[in-house]
Structure 1
Amino acid sequence: MGDAPLKVLVVDDEPLATERLQLLLARVDGVDLVGTAADGEAAVRMAEALQPDLLLLDVAMPGLDGIDVARALTGRRPAPAVVFVTAFDQFAVAAFEVEAVDYLMKPVDSSRLERALSRARQHIQTRSATEAGPVQPVSRYLDEFWATDLSGLVRIAARDIDRISAERDYMRLHVGTRSWLIHHSMSALEDGLDPALFVRLHRSAIVRRDFITGFQRNPSGRWIARLADGGEQPVGRLYAENVRAIAGR
């Protein structure tokens, strides 16, 4: 992209929300607002015609919603980067499935918007450099998650997760001393995470392989995994074979 302005298309069915984004964008250098759309169908048409670098895209819209718009544009090359702007946080899982660059909660704060624009620029520059080089195979495994945070939504890289524990219909992602809940199933996470990095040790627990420091047996003969933070994770009987595979025996 070089020093070219970031071409932005704003999509929102609420006129006041669109106006607020226009005012915020007008204060940011290096941004060119190429248009606005009030529904998903118009957004797809305008994106095809105007070829924006970035969509600031509302999620909840009548008809074609923001997730549908993002999916419709993924086949275009280059596809525009997407930053979702919404009043709802329950779309976070769908957001990372369509590879959104960021996820902003309404009302949008100016400094938070600028961070999202910076992430979009970095994403586009990285993608351009990658496309200019040899074609890299695309991993089928999940490499990031979106989770609710006090400030809105936070992106969590899969490689940073120490372990995952089940809590009813939610999964808790543990990263150091912090943790976040996401609405997902344990079986879907087991299938979606790279088995070279993660292993399931219990029906309610997945652990990053290099977070395991050792194994020991309890008095009843069950395996217990020792973890890098000093904690322990019981190994379910159905997953004892995974212990033997890790230990090479």
Structure 2
Amino acid sequence: MTVLRVFIADDEAPARLRLRALLSDIEAELPNRVVGEAANGEDALALLAALPAAEAADVALIDIRMPGMDGVELASRLAALPRPPVLVFCTAYDQYAVRAFELQATDYLMKPVRAARLLDALRRVPERQAGASADPGGGRSQLSCSERGRILLVPVADILYLRAELKYVTARTGEREYLLEESLAALEQEFPRRFVRIHRNCLVARDAVAGFEHVRDGADGHWSVVLKGLDERLPVSRRQWAQVRAEFADIRTAER
């Protein structure tokens, strides 16, 4: 089994020790190894850059408030490395969450960090690495959602469709819906290879389309998208149908 290489950056020695203890606690479920640690951003950047390719960190656990170069600046500087680590912020301050997600952080853990939350965050690291390799520069890999005082991360790869409703956009995954404070038009522009517009208020993920149904509900009826893994049907506007059909020319259609 692949061993996850972890780097820790926190100016407080007890916090670094706690993260090491938590990593040891979850090692049976997720093999990992600490390849280095630093008490400030400058040292962290230098040490991470100096690691040989075979020992490059897969993930960096970064505190926000550190003397000199803070965690946010460190994260932005790490993006310039040939093989930047996946970012997980570990902090006592929640006001930096939005900025952290803009920096492509996989997760934002509030101190005191719990083993279960750390394990959940680290389990997503290989997926983030694969996504970065397969689609460099292809937009964010996850979107953020504020819910009951928490910031939730929604992997873009899990989203089946995006639908504008009032001032929010609903992101639908196979499990549930999330409300995003984002513009549908901006999301369409950011992810042109992943989503296709089927209606003025709806984008559907290309990989989520299983087929199309023609519904006879009037003189001409209308076409709907059949989704993989969901019974829900998404109506295609007449204006968009020709373009949508051309995008999915190899997918079957059906009458209903």
- TM-score, normalised on structure 1? 0.67
- Which of 29, 44, 48 is matched with 2:45 structurally? 48
1:23 is aligned to 18
Of stretches 53-62 and 237-246 in structure 1, the one that deviates more from structure 2 is 53-62
Residues 76-104 of structure 1, C-alpha deviations (whole Å, 9 max, x = no match): 23323311234438835x54543323322
Gaps of 5+ in 2: 25-32, 52-56, 250-256
Match of 1:198 in 2: 195
Please give the residue correspondences for 1:124-203 in structure 2 after superposition, counting only pairs within 5 Å.
138=136, 140-148=138-146, 153-195=151-193, 197-203=194-200
**Per the alignment, in what secondary structure is the counterpart of residue 28 of structure 1?**
helix
Q: Distance in 2 between matches of 1:202 and 1:63?
A: 49
Is contact 2:168–2:181 with CA below 8 Å preserved after alignment?
yes
Aligned residue number for residue 87 of structure 2: 82
SS at match of 2:89: strand
C-alpha displacement of 1:205: 1.0
Measure the CA separation in 2 of the matches of 1:55 and 1:192. 26
Deviation sequence 1:27-73 (CA, Å, 0-9, x none): 53333662223xxxxx1x22232227343234578997644431222
Amino acid at match of 2:105: A
User: In structure 2, how many angstroms separate the alpha carbons of the residues matched to 1:102 and 1:32?
Assistant: 20
Instruction: Work out whether residues 104 and 152 of structure 1, in 8 Å CA contact, stay in contact via their aligned partners in 2.
Output: no
Q: Which runs of 5+ in 1 are unaligned?
A: 38-42
The Cα of 1:75 is off from its aligned counterpart by: 0.7
Cα–Cα, structure 1 residues 59 and 237, in superposed 2: closer, same or farther, change >3 Å? farther
| AA in 2 matched with 1:199 | V
Matched, 1:71 2:76: yes
Q: Superposition RMSD on alpha carbons, in Å?
A: 4.1
CA contact (8 A) 1:105 1:153 kept: no
- Matched residues in 2 for 1:33 and 1:58: separation? 15
Contact 2:9–2:16 (8 Å) recurs in 1: no
**Aligned partners of 2:44, 2:134: CA distance in 1, in Å?**
26
Tell me, in whole angstroms, the C-alpha distance in 2 between the residues paired with 1:136 and 1:163.
21
**Which residue of structure 2 lines up, in the alignment, with residue 40 of structure 1?**
none
SS in 2 for 1:23: helix
**Within 1, Cα distance between the matches of 2:210 and 2:161?**
8
User: Following the alignment from structure 1 to structure 2, what is the Cα–Cα distance between the partners of residues 214 and 136?
Assistant: 32
Instruction: Say if 1:85 and 1:106, in contact at 8 Å, map to a contact too.
Output: yes
Task: Give the C-alpha shift of residue 244 in structure 1.
Answer: 4.1
CA separation of 1:213/1:105 partners in 2, compared to 1, >3 Å: closer, same or farther? farther
Judging changes above 3 Å, is the alpha-carbon distance between structure 1 residues 70 and 239 closer, same or farther for their aligned structure 2 residues? same
Judged with a 3 Å threshold, the aligned counterparts in structure 2 of structure 1 residues 102 and 224 are, in CA distance, closer, same or farther, namely same
Q: 1:118 to 1:216 in 2, by over 3 A?
A: closer
Residues 117 and 199 (structure 1), Cα distance of their counterparts in 2 relative to 1, 3 Å cut: closer
Report how far residue 156 of structure 1 moved: 3.5
Deviation of residue 74 (structure 1)?
0.7
2:97 counterpart residue number: 91
Q: 1:101 maps to what in 2?
A: 106
Matched residue count: 227
